[in-house]
Amino acid sequence: MRRPIIAANWKMNMNPGDTTEFLKSFLSLIPGKCPVDVVVAPPFVSLPAAADILKGNINVRLAAQNMSDHDAGAFTGEISAMMLKELYVSHVILGHSERRTLFGERDAFINSKLAKAFESNLKPIFCIGETLAEREGGKVEKVLERQIRKGFKGIEAKQVGETIVAYEPVWAIGTGVTATTEQAQEAHAYCRSVIADLYDMETAAKVRIQYGGSVKPTNMAELISMKDIDGALVGGASLDYRSFYEIVKEGIEQVSSS
């Protein structure tokens, strides 16, 4: 079994004060050494507050929600990998569907950010997923294959094996509509097969694939019980520390029962 990874994507929520409060309460709920990887992704301005609390913590890692593909220079409003690393950040979410649809990020740009993340020793959480129109048009596999092929262009197998892929069907994000476990499992297995085809079986077997899209404490157990679902990327339900903990707890239970 791959070690589950459960991440909170707070999007544009949680100012520094909220972040401190959340993390203090959340950490008090995690007993000893957690058998699943837990990651939180606050907005940029809340990263220092999170870093103050998480430095030295063995259970919870810090992610950024985005990153520049440049090192430094005249890129107004951008944040570099090195800036993030100074703030104890170990992971970075790249290619989230909100970045793709609302801010026009394309596959090649995301690929360039993935390369920069690896060069900088940050672990990418690489988001992919189809829109409702693409699903209804029977294009799920075509879209996922394109996003994976173009996203990983020029990236070595070893790095791909360390990538966390987040399959987030766009129609399930923030809508309360979760993909059925079968739909999610099918898409995850397909993504793994594309990676096996592009690289090899060993690499494909190593990649952890999270599901994202209306994950809640009530649907997590079923999702995480599926063979190719290795965790979750949680939006709305991660904003409350109790609810996010309930989701993490399902991951812990899955590990203990397998």
DSSP annotation of 200: -
Under rule CB under 6 A, residue 236 binds ligand 13P: yes
**Cβ neighbours around 31 below 10 Å, total:** 8
Site for ligand 13P in 137-196 (CB under 6 A): 168, 173-174
Under rule CB under 6 A, residue 215 binds ligand 13P: yes
Considering only CA atoms, which of 18, 37, 224 is closest in space to residue 125?
Answer: 37
With 0-12 CB in 10 A as exposed, 13-18 as middle and 19+ as buried, what is 1?
exposed
Q: Which amino acid is at 169?
A: P
Tell me which of 4, 95, 124, 213 binds ligand 13P, using CB under 6 A.
213
The rounded radius of gyration (Å) of the Cα atoms in the chain is 17
Contact present, 248 and 34 (Cβ < 8 Å): yes
| 109, two tokens | 């740009």
Question: Is the Cβ of residue 203 or residue 236 nearer to ligand 13P in the bound state?
Answer: 236
Question: Is the Cβ of residue 30 or residue 125 nearer to ligand 13P in the bound state?
Answer: 125
- Helix/strand/coil for 208: strand
Question: Is the Cβ of residue 183 or residue 193 nearer to ligand 13P in the bound state?
Answer: 183
Alpha-carbon span 124 to 93, nearest angstrom: 6
Least distance to ligand 13P, CB of residue 60, Å:
17
**Residue 107: C-alpha distances to residues 2, 110, 127, 214, 235 (Å):** 27, 5, 11, 24, 22
Q: Is 96 a catalytic residue?
A: yes
Query: Considering 98, 105, 130, 168, which one is annotated as catalytic?
Result: 168
Site for ligand 13P in 83-102 (CB under 6 A): 96
Stretch that binds ligand 13P, among 72-80, 181-189, 195-203, 235-243 (CB under 6 A): 235-243
Tell me which of 4, 43, 169, 212 binds ligand 13P, using CB under 6 A.
212
Q: Is 91 a catalytic residue?
A: no
Question: Is the Cβ of residue 110 or residue 203 nearer to ligand 13P in the bound state?
Answer: 110
What is the binding site for ligand 13P (CB under 6 A)? Answer: 9, 96, 168, 173-174, 212-215, 233-237
